[in-house]
Structure 1
Amino acid sequence: MPPPVASLATSGLLLLFLVSAVSSSSLPLENGIRVVSAEKRIDLTGSIVKVFVTLKVENAASASDASQVLVAFTPTEVQHLAIVKATRAEGKRKKKAYNPLSVQESDLPTTPNGARLYSVQLSTPLKPGETTTLQVFYVLTHSLDPFPAEISQSESQLVYYRDSAVLLSPYNVLEQVTYIKMPSNRIESFTRVDPTSRAGTELKYGTYNNQMPNTYLPILVHFENNRPFAIVEELVRKVEISHWGNVQITEQYKLKHGGARHKGAFSRLEYQSRQSISGTSSFKNLLARLPPRVHSVYYRDEIGNISSSHLRTDSHKSELEIEPRYPLFGGWHCTFTIGYGLPLQDFLFEADGGRRYINLTFGCPLLDTVVDDLTIKVVLPEGSKNPQPVVPFLAEQHLEVHYEFNPIFMLAEPLMLIFAVFLFFVACIAYLHMDLSIGKTS
């Protein structure tokens, strides 16, 4: 059982005192950087934690040009870190634009509290005396712990979330505030670090001034979260490319409810009669965002086709709403398969030198789900050679497969079919001219 909130607050104040004594020698290479203001917004309205951090950073007048800004994550956050993105604000007012920046894990040593540093590469160096605004967005998965770990059919789900009231940073932070957004008004408890306030579903920590580098003040929030904790334990996607104009996608899912485990018996009657009360933490449908111009869509499991699905298509997107054969409670599993076809011309391109590449979205089409294990199998046409997969995770979430293909091989399958039919007719003619009767020997 997690420690009481009061003890966490006490230990947090002690930790604040300890890390405040860190000497300036622990600062990174570009020690002219300081954070003038920081705003951290934590979105806990779903099963996936989304964090938005806005940093106004300044380079000291006596320092050299800064080509990077470091952001810090605790070891626990690194284990659950799914994606990190950063942008830089350029221009003023109506002409302001946010340009994407590269984010890489830094090779600098860890900070005294064990934090891992990531480097945000600036497109243009920050000159001495200049300020700039950065926005960092990152996603954490499996970071909400159900408590109690088991609940009955009619109980709501409560979860714990752990973070810091102040921004963990390798730089001095002059002014900082943290906002935490919950999915409902039911907040069982939360760590108070003055100044702390609550307004409806939102908690505010701060404003805190003049924080030393590497300051970390742990907080614990215990709140209600009945959103679907849909986890794809394994997804196997098979992509079959045919140069006759079609791309066939087959996706096999092993899905589970990753929330508090269900205890006791399940009553279908109670679930149907009081859906707003019974089974509030369960889910019974999922939404898949498919490419436009999808066709030949099917949805089935081990038993056969499942009719409880709805497909909505237009020129920009296709949405498939699916419903498993039974609602999923915490700890329950189900397996199913989704298949669909796509027009080849939407995804097949030709690069310089005659090489071809197929460009498909990398990831799971099911919205608001976490994929633990993803396997992609690409089946190329007969006669393809020198395949080369490209997965630019740091740029775009896409999978490109380059390969060489001679159009003459498009005749391979028709010729094989013609040859098979020819052999069949030859066999029929031979059978008709053979005398298989049993006669008497003379």
Structure 2
Amino acid sequence: MAPSLHSLPTTVFLLILAVAVASAAAAASPSSPPGEDGIRVVAAEKRIDLTGPIVKVFLTLKVQNAASASEASYVLLAFTPTEVQHLAIVKATRAEGKRKKKTYVPLPVEPSHLADAPNGASLYAILLSTPLKPAETTTLELFYVLTHSLEPFPAEITQSESQLVYYRDSAVILSPYHVLEQATYIKMPSNRVESFTRVDPTSRSGPEVKYGTYSNQLPNSYLPILVHFENNHPFAVVEELVRKVEISHWGNVQITEQYKLRHGGARHKGVFSRLEYQSRQSISGASSFKNLLARLPPRVHSVYYRDEIGNISSSHLRSDSYKSELEFEPRYPLFGGWHCTFTIGYGMPLQDFLFQADDGRRYANLTFGCPLLDTVVDDLTIKVVLPEGSKSPEAVVPFLTEQHLETSYSYLDVVGRTTVVIKKKNVVGEHNVPFQVYYEFNPMFMLAEPLMLISALLFLFVTCIAYLHMDLSIGKSQAS
């Protein structure tokens, strides 16, 4: 039976009310964050750099907000579960201005829990400095690093074989948004490319493979690809690095770094021939490495390099007022799967690193990360040993780390030295940025050690004088 004319206004009113309630509920739902549904990627360009042992990805996104949507305060970025395990760092910038006046503003990137991605993917939120208005378009430049993402194949090679590796990714970017146009470029270190997955349109020019241009990709699209190519760059992996920074207010900062290093490439099989290695270095052991380069602060002094056996003289230091470079060789060249341990130590002038804050506290301005170039640090521990008597320590690091306090003891210490311990896993060269350790210190504590030395010497002199004036001889008794 058709509704009567009198009931039509009531039906329309109820329908409008239901739609409004549903819209309000959707807006309040945490699984559907505001502004997400209106965003789309107009153009995307992904460039993957495989020329070294670490995968570096440069991603350019031209993002547009729908005219009917609300302002968007962030843009979501998706990673597969495997990428999240090997993700070392993510950086984002936003292009503002036009042509010569264009500037790139850094943006924070944080893990997002606002929405669920399919197939176990993880979402990261790029927080915009100014909200993206309806119908507005902006360009985002992203950079992220993946470690341990190149898989050696074959897994074992002889001394005379080159190293081949696999790399797995997607021809299209994994995005929670609709992507109108995109292309992916993969650059390899040489022209020797054994094979690569073809997803039309696909083209190759020397060491570079291009996937795309692809149009109108639905959200969460994924087209798996596999690239098999030659990569003989040193796969230097620092399994554990413990750096100890001892600050002395008497004018010196002493650094001690203990390394556990291994070659993370294809494992070496067969017998190692040093004669063949030295006579045919360009062919024999192409993927091995026999020297390393460490970039140290300027004006370092008292540099040493040793292992369990003792000091190693095969090192060269180049230092000036701007930088210091230490090039050194382990006792033997490293092939795939081989390990070595060593220690590097050096001193630095205190005035280059210790400053006073506006609130009266002192702070040490140090550098995070590992000084060895092109290496991955699986487990990094930095111990900043403050002068005895320091209070209220606080470490300010520009990314997430694990921190705790402990007490260290050295010569002439009475109550021990407060030590700030900072730990982080999966560290790469992009983590080599300054960080600060703030603390309070009473200058009277600087007199503790001199007074202890003076007291000890004074006690020794008094003991010697008393000993010289004592008669400890045994005399004969006189007969009555």
Partner of 1:404: 440
Q: CA deviation at 1:396?
A: 8.6
Partner of 1:54: 60
Partner of 2:219: 213
Q: CA deviation at 1:314?
A: 2.2
- CA 1:108–1:428 in 2, change beyond 3 Å: closer, same or farther? same
- CA 1:199–1:416 in 2, change beyond 3 Å: closer, same or farther? same
Contact 1:27 1:171 in 2 (8 A): no
Question: Given the alignment, which residue of 313, 333, 338 partners 1:327?
Answer: 333
Q: Give, in whole Å, the separation in 1 of the partners of 2:432 and 2:136.
A: 30
Partner of 1:116: 122
Contact 2:258 2:344 in 1 (8 A): yes
CA deviations 1:175-228 (Å, max 9, x no partner) are: 100000101111111100001111110000000001000000100111111101
Partner of 1:370: 376
Q: Give, in whole Å, the separation in 2 of the partners of 1:439 and 1:305.
A: 59
Question: Given the alignment, which residue of 182, 201, 210 partners 1:204?
Answer: 210
Is 1:151 aligned with 2:151?
Answer: no
Contact 2:32 2:115 in 1 (8 A): no
Q: CA deviation at 1:355?
A: 1.5
CA deviations 1:34-55 (Å, max 9, x no partner) are: 1110000000011100000001
Partner of 1:314: 320
Partner of 1:11: none
Q: What is the identity, as a one-letter code, of the residue corresponding to 2:70?
A: S
Larger radius of gyration, structure 1 or 2? 2
Contact 1:359 1:400 in 2 (8 A): yes
1:217-366 equivalence runs, <5 A: 217-366=223-372
Q: CA deviation at 1:357?
A: 1.3
Gaps in structure 1 of 5+ consecutive residues: 1-24
1:385-400 equivalence runs, <5 A: 385-393=391-399, 397-400=433-436
Q: Give, in whole Å, the separation in 2 of the partners of 1:260 and 1:218.
A: 24
Contact 1:293 1:342 in 2 (8 A): yes
Partner of 2:455: 419
Q: Give, in whole Å, the separation in 2 of the partners of 1:412 and 1:71.
A: 55
Q: Give, in whole Å, the separation in 1 of the partners of 2:473 and 2:233.
A: 75
Which secondary structure state, in structure 1, belongs to the residue aligned with residue 149 of structure 2? coil
Which secondary structure state, in structure 1, belongs to the residue aligned with residue 464 of structure 2? helix
CA deviations 1:374-412 (Å, max 9, x no partner) are: 111121112112222222217994432211101111111
CA deviations 1:122-144 (Å, max 9, x no partner) are: 10111111111100100000111
Q: Give, in whole Å, the separation in 2 of the partners of 1:207 and 1:248.
A: 54
Q: CA deviation at 1:76?
A: 0.4
Contact 2:60 2:140 in 1 (8 A): yes
Q: What is the identity, as a one-letter code, of the residue corresponding to 1:402?
A: Y
Q: Give, in whole Å, the separation in 2 of the partners of 1:412 and 1:300.
A: 33
Q: CA deviation at 1:438?
A: 6.5
Is 1:72 aligned with 2:108?
Answer: no
Partner of 1:182: 188
Contact 1:27 1:213 in 2 (8 A): no
Contact 2:367 2:433 in 1 (8 A): yes
Q: How many residues align?
A: 418
Is 1:171 aligned with 2:191?
Answer: no
Q: Give, in whole Å, the separation in 2 of the partners of 1:251 and 1:39.
A: 40
CA RMSD of aligned residues (A): 1.8
Q: Give, in whole Å, the separation in 1 of the partners of 2:476 and 2:123.
A: 94
Q: CA deviation at 1:311?
A: 1.1
Q: CA deviation at 1:437?
A: 5.4
Q: CA deviation at 1:352?
A: 3.3
Question: Given the alignment, which residue of 428, 432, 437 partners 2:468?
Answer: 432
Which secondary structure state, in structure 1, belongs to the residue aligned with residue 131 of structure 2? strand
Contact 1:28 1:170 in 2 (8 A): no
Q: Give, in whole Å, the separation in 1 of the partners of 2:56 and 2:132.
A: 28
Contact 2:367 2:432 in 1 (8 A): no
Q: Give, in whole Å, the separation in 1 of the partners of 2:242 and 2:100.
A: 45
CA deviations 1:91-138 (Å, max 9, x no partner) are: 111111111001000012332232111000010111111111100100
